[in-house]
């Protein structure tokens, strides 16, 4: 999609990881960019001395803060062209041992906060008949790994929202992209991951084992967040914006294998499924 002037970017969750690196690349490239975080002080390294950058405090689970952030963006830059819904975090437990309040808090950030931000920016994008909504999901949006069922459920929801939104707004000139990274070298596992450790012996080789592996992976992941951030920028400003952008070799291989296995199973059970219709 070609913008007449450099698009105005708005990114949630910029204190670290993908949000920080994406904001840094955009600001350094001269794009008008709004970076946000619950603790706005953590954004100082991004915006100091940069006339094209604006840092805002934002908790996406607070509707008044969502509305205020969009208003402040429009007051500073006149519009908001690209929304990147990056804010969120992970919660791991076995399904049986999940804690209801922890699950709900994660969904509030990962799903309902994302939806609130999207609702807030769509009126302006519809009026201009132009814009991008970029939702940062995960390989878990396709695959429910043991120990990550509730996190995967939140990212499955992000994927579903993205698919539906694309059908609703693409006729209006608005593009939707759902980004599904595999493991990347951010501090997600150390800072943005909560766990309820499994104490049930039956899950020691499944949920418990994977949670232990996840907690110890920080700094060892193959994925480069800077390259990933540049790939997101290129996909937005380039000739074609994919609806699904899977990032990292692990992610591409895992998602491809999952979708092929699902299709194979559907085909094996095709006749059983077809025969459940009323006879012609």
Which CATH number do you get for residue 106? 3.40.50.720
pLDDT in tens, 95-139: 999 999 999 999 999 999 999 999 999 999 999 999 999 999 999
**What is the Cα–Cα distance from 225 to 140, expressed in whole angstroms?**
17
pLDDT in tens, 2-32: 788 999 999 999 998 899 999 999 999 999 9
Enter the tokens of residue 35: 């970076």
Is 151 known to be catalytic?
Answer: yes
Range of the domain at 85: 9-272
**What is the Cα–Cα distance from 197 to 266, expressed in whole angstroms?**
34
Residues 6+ apart with CB under 8 A from 67: 120
Q: Does residue 220 sit within a domain?
A: yes
Q: What is the pTM of this model?
A: 0.94
Is 91 known to be catalytic?
Answer: no
Instruction: State the catalytic residue, choosing from 155, 162, 203, 229.
Output: 155
Q: Does residue 197 sit within a domain?
A: yes
Q: Does residue 48 sit within a domain?
A: yes
Distances (CA, A) of 202 to 3, 89, 94, 258: 55, 27, 11, 25
Is 94 known to be catalytic?
Answer: no
Distances (CA, A) of 117 to 109, 156, 201: 11, 18, 41
Is 155 known to be catalytic?
Answer: yes
pLDDT in tens, 140-182: 999 999 999 999 999 999 999 999 999 999 999 999 999 999 8
Q: Does residue 46 sit within a domain?
A: yes
Q: Does residue 4 sit within a domain?
A: no
Enter the tokens of residue 149: 């069922």
Structural domains in the chain (count): 1
Q: Does residue 279 sit within a domain?
A: no
Hey, which residues does 40 pair with through a beta bridge?
none
Instruction: State the catalytic residue, choosing from 94, 151, 162, 198.
Output: 151
**What is the Cα–Cα distance from 131 to 129, expressed in whole angstroms?**
7
Q: Does residue 267 sit within a domain?
A: yes
Q: Does residue 47 sit within a domain?
A: yes
Instruction: State the catalytic residue, choosing from 137, 162, 192, 229.
Output: 137
Mean local confidence (pLDDT), 253-261: 97
Q: Are 180 and 247 in contact (CB under 8 A)?
A: yes
């Amino acid at each position: 999609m070609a913008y007449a002037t450099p698009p105005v970017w708005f990114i949630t969750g910029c204190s670290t990881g993908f949000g920080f690196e994406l904001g840094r690349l955009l600001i350094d490239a001269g794009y008008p960019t709004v970076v946000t975080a619950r603790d706005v002080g953590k954004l100082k390294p991004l915006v100091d001395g940069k006339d094209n950058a604006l840092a805002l405090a934002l908790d996406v689970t607070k509707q008044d803060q969502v509305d205020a952030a969009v208003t402040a963006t429009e007051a500073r830059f006149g519009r908001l062209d690209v929304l990147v819904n990056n804010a969120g975090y992970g919660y791991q437990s076995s399904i049986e041992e999940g804690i209801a309040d922890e699950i709900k808090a994660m969904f509030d950030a990962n799903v309902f906060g994302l939806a609130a931000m999207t609702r807030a920016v769509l009126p302006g994008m519809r009026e201009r008949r132009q814009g991008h909504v970029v939702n940062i999901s995960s390989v878990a949006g396709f695959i429910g790994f043991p120990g990550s069922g509730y996190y995967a459920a939140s990212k499955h929801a992000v994927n579903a929202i993205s698919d539906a939104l694309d059908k609703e707004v693409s006729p209006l000139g608005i593009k939707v992209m759902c980004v599904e990274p595999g493991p990347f070298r951010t501090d997600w596992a150390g800072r943005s991951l909560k766990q309820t450790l499994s104490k049930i012996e039956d899950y020691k080789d499944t949920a418990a084992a994977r949670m232990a592996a996840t907690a110890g992976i920080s700094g060892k992941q193959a994925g480069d967040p800077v390259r990933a951030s540049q790939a997101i920028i290129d996909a937005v400003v380039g000739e074609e914006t994919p609806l699904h952008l899977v990032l990292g070799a692990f992610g591409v291989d895992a998602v491809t294998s999952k979708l092929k296995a699902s299709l194979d199973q559907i085909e094996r059970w095709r006749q059983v499924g077809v025969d459940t219709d009323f006879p012609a």
